[in-house]
Amino acid sequence: MSSQTQIFAVTGKPVLHSKSPNMFNAMFGYAYKDAAYVRVAAKDAEQAIFLFKSLGIKGMNVTAPFKEKIIRYIDVIHDEAKILKSVNTIVNKNGKLHGYNTDFYGVTQSFEDAGISIKNKTCLVIGAGGAGKSAAYGMHTKGAQVTITNRTFAKAKKAARIIGCKAASIENIQQLVEEHDIIISSLHQHINVVDAAWLRSSHIIFDANYKGSALLPIAKERRCTVVSAEDWLLNQAVAAYTLFMGEKPNKDIMRQGLSVTPLSEKKHTISTIGLMGAGKTSHGKVLAQKLDYVFKDTDDAIVAQQGMPITQIFEQQGEAYFRNLEAQELAQSFSSDNPHVLSCGGGIVVNEQNRDLLKDNSIVIWLYASPEAIIKRTDISKRPLLQVADPLQKLRELLSARKGMYAKTAHIIVSTERKLKGHTTNKIIKELQAI
């Protein structure tokens, strides 16, 4: 791993539940790529783009609710994305952001993988957001007779006009379901408008939500043919990887990534990483309080153990000695079964063993603030690595050297550019609740 590590990401709200990092990181490992794929939590599309540019992210996937809103920040919109007014893949090409849509391909390829012919079949798409429009477009281009319905009829009409298909009022949902061969739902997690009694065994059902689908269980009970939402996720990711890397991935390897242990099993420990001054301790304490977790700080534990401040440890024993203490303290912290929030020193990721320990034993949150924001709110006298002529330049160098390590370790990035403890911790809690 080096400062040249390529960083890729997925953004949305929420995003911690996303399985995209599992697929991409599995492929990066298989292909020996110096690359990392991480989740980016953002309050809106603007913040997602800020993090994209600040961290020099090479490529980003976009999920709900940003697929349409993010377009205003893209420099070049490619054909399908332009037609659909929906971007789910962004590639940084020499500083220009290129927006693509791979969702439509993910839908049609999933049907092809399942051996289901689309041509001349009637298809009802429920939902006219980014995913719904993409599904409708893909099915339309493959010869299906597509109808779009939506809670707001005007939105369905607008989407249908763009694609060249029909729109219908959701008030007639029962009749619509009964009249169509294929039902595709792009509604939000746990939302379903289809009654089990309307389904017949000849129906083909596809739900965009691979987690929390309310439609698929009843479809299976009615013995409908079900196309996996994970196949949609996988196939659009294959197309995105090709755009990112300029080569096709091994699809089977990416599929294996979908079976990685879910993050929900690691919720008993939350670890915060990032540069000094990013807010790991201050936000960590608030987070621990709100979760009713124990709060631990590796730096504080080392200071208590050694009986001297970290600046003095660096002066007397050197950085290598401190890093060894840090590794010992980290290993010790994971020996406890008590739920806790662990604040880690900024350089803890330099040690590869530490990176593995953190990722294997906790949900790792990379708290990010730009060097410019950090320098304004940091007491330089308490930071041994900033005892230099140009502290800001030093921070920039540290970020450049470590961001690949942070990306390799973190499950999610959360911005602390504006030091709003309550807002940041509430965002983290919402993400944890979504997994």
For residue 288, which phi and psi values (nearest 5 degrees)? -60, -40
What beta strand segments (E) does 258-311 contain? 269-273, 294-297
- Lookup result for tokens 């997994």: 435
The residue count of the chain comes to: 435
Burial status of residue 175 (CB atoms within 10 A of its CB: 0-12, 13-18, 19 or more) = exposed
φ and ψ at residue 168, rounded to 5 degrees: -145, 150
Q: % helix / strand / coil in the chain, to the nearest 5? A: 50, 20, 30
Q: Give the Cα separation of 309 and 303 in Å (integer).
A: 5
Structure tokens at 345: 């020193």
Among candidate residues 13, 19, 67, 280, the one labeled active-site is 67
What whole-number distance in Å separates Cα of residue 132 and Cα of residue 119?
Answer: 19
User: Which tokens in the block code for residue 75?
Assistant: 């420099």
Whole-angstrom distance, CA of residue 385 vs CA of residue 206: 54
67 counts as catalytic: yes
Provide the greatest CA pair distance for the chain: 79
HSE (side-chain half, CA atoms, 13 Å) at 115 = 1
> CA-to-CA distance for 204 and 212, rounded, in angstroms?
19
Amino acid identity of residue 368, one-letter, is: Y
Burial class, 120, CB count within 10 angstroms (exposed 0-12 / middle 13-18 / buried 19+): exposed
Sheet containing 35-41: give its strands across. Answer: 76-77, 96-100, 89-93, 59-62, 6-12, 35-41, 412-415, 363-368, 269-273, 340-343, 294-297
Those residues whose C-beta lies under 8 Å from the C-beta of residue 96, and which sit 6 or more positions away, are 75, 76
3-state secondary structure of 160: helix
* Residue ranges with strand state E in 186-293: 204-207, 225-227, 269-273
Cα–Cα distance measured from residue 16 to residue 60, given in angstroms and rounded to the nearest whole number: 15
Number of Cβ atoms within 10 Å of the Cβ of 301: 18
Active site residues: 67
